[in-house]
Amino acid sequence: MIYIIKIHTSASDSPIIIDADSLVGVSLDGFDLHRANLRNFEMTKSSLRKASLRNADLAHSLLEKADLSEASLVLCTLDGAILTYANLSNALCYHTSFINSNLSGSILNGAQFNHANFEGASLLGANLKGCSGLDEANLKGALFDNETIWPDGYQPEKHDAVRKNQ
């Protein structure tokens, strides 16, 4: 049986064709997925290193253990997405929406979160060391715990994040 997945983006008049039955474990490293509709896709263990996902819709997608390191997620929608143990190190996340997303155990070190929205997100055990822009981000109701690693001197409670008691 032949499987083909078509991803429509504004980067090209032609859709991106992937010869696979799913996006689980697929490599899309460096792909231009500007404005791609990937809502509700399962992309567990997929690699999107250095991919451009500007304005892409990944709401409610399953991205557990996905590699999004150095990706451009500017204006990307990841509301309700499962990003547990994902790697977003050094990603550009300006104005990115993570509302009610699960980023537990994720590697977010060095990412840029200027004006990102983490309202209601889970950051339990996440590593945010070396991140920038968190002072401009919305962390209202975002959960964190003693295992969450913040940039030096950052005080999440002052930004309305909530410590989960263990």
CB atoms within 10 A of CB 136: 13
Rg (CA), the chain: 16
Q: Can you give the pTM of this predicted structure?
A: 0.91
pLDDT for position 135:
96
Q: How far apart are CA 71 and CA 43, in angstroms?
A: 15
* Predicted confidence band of residue 15 (pLDDT cuts 50, 70, 90): confident
Check: CB of residue 101 under 8 Å from CB of residue 78: yes
User: In this structure, is the dihedral angle defined by the CA atoms of residues 123, 134, 115 and 36, taken in order, positive or negative?
Assistant: negative
Query: How many helices (H) and strands (E) in the chain?
Result: 0, 4
Query: Judging by DSSP bridges, how do beta strands 143-144 and 162-163 pair with one another?
Result: parallel
Check: CB of residue 108 under 8 Å from CB of residue 85: no
In this model, does residue 24 exceed pLDDT 60?
yes
Q: Which two tokens stand for residue 166?
A: 């263990």
- Structural domains in the chain, sorted by start: 1-166 (2.160.20)
* Predicted confidence band of residue 2 (pLDDT cuts 50, 70, 90): very low
CB atoms within 10 A of CB 110: 18
Query: Judging by DSSP bridges, how do beta strands 5-7 and 16-18 pair with one another?
Result: antiparallel
Of all residues in the chain, what percent carry a pLDDT higher than 90? 80
In this model, does residue 97 exceed pLDDT 70?
yes
| pLDDT tens, residue by residue, 103-137 | 999 999 999 999 999 999 999 999 999 999 999 99
DSSP code of 163?
A: E
Q: For residue 166, which amino acid is it?
A: Q
Check: CB of residue 44 under 8 Å from CB of residue 24: yes
In this model, does residue 48 exceed pLDDT 70?
yes
Mean pLDDT of all residues in 70-95 = 98
